Amino acid sequence: MKNAIEVRGLTKRYGDVQAVKGIDLDIRRGEVFAFLGPNGAGKSTTVEILEGYRKRDAGEISVLGVDPGRPTREWRSRIGIVLQTANDAAELSVLETVRHFAGYYPNPRDPDEVIAAVGLSDKANKRVRQLSGGQRRRVDVALGILGNPELIFLDEPTTGFDPEARRQFWELIEGLAQTGSTIVLTTHYLDEAEALADRVAVIAGGRIVAEGEPATLGGRDTAKAVVTWAEGSVETSTPTKTIVELSRRYDGEVPGLAVHRPTLEDIYLKLIEAPRD
């Protein structure tokens, strides 16, 4: 199969509130795909439906060739899920925890190999409660990849991390992606999506309002640049030409020259602020 996930016409309602309003989506095998969107946009509901945790009202879904609304034990063993918050066995060591959970899978990875993969070999005999927040999150990922999954869901994996811990965690995710696993990521950090994702989807008002590579999302690659200098500014689709003209005017040295191209954050804010029906 070319796609790990295929969604057509997904809808979900909670009472009078329609949280998901007809989502269509394809996620290719082996890619890192990120969902972006404000709280209440419908992204968590969408992901929970894909994971098989929540029932949909309508729509057709295939996740690894199976309808998650009718999950099988074999299908669940092919999926790894790292929740935003997890209740760990704080009094067990890292190794004891991973070995314990390995017993739930028909074909688990070697616990020592998994611990090494998440960078915790030197903490293997430490109790989980003695670990830092970032290290505990690595334990969560170890449990998520323990079953040798084809598809991994990561829900807000670096919430609360300091900048150094986030960068270290990004390296871990990049390593997982290189194994060929498909990774579905939800995050509020736009720099995280830009650093990790092959493609992103922005969900607002229960709909996907934009989808594509971070560099091209929402026409980012063709959007006009803003050239500013000490005496003014101009929005232009030909910033190089503008700079050449300014250079001639100022005899080669343009005072206060700066060029601003739309960031992913600029595009994202425009997308989620656009009016919805």
More confident residue, 159 or 109: 109
> Within a domain: residue 234?
yes
> Within a domain: residue 260?
yes
> Within a domain: residue 120?
no
Distance CA 97, CA 57 (A): 37
> Within a domain: residue 174?
no
Q: Give residue for tokens 């790990």.
A: 4
Distance CA 78, CA 262 (A): 39
> Within a domain: residue 227?
yes
> Within a domain: residue 45?
no
Distance CA 146, CA 7 (A): 27
What is residue 86's predicted lDDT score, i.e. its pLDDT? 60
> Within a domain: residue 156?
no
In the chain, the number of structural domains is 1
Structural domain range at position 261: 219-273
CA angle 85, 86, 89 (to 5 degrees): 150
Q: Helices then strands (H, E): number in the chain?
A: 9, 12
Distance CA 235, CA 77 (A): 52
Distance CA 257, CA 235 (A): 14
pLDDT in tens, 7-24: 999 999 999 999 999 999
* The pair of three-digit structure tokens given for residue 255, joined into one six-digit string: 């005072």
pTM: 0.83
Q: Give residue for tokens 């989502």.
A: 23
pLDDT in tens, 180-235: 889 999 988 899 999 999 999 999 999 999 999 999 998 888 888 999 999 999 99
Least confident of 78-92, 96-110, 123-137, 186-200: 78-92
Q: Please give the single-letter amino acid code of residue 2.
A: K
Partners of 258 in the β-ladder: 228
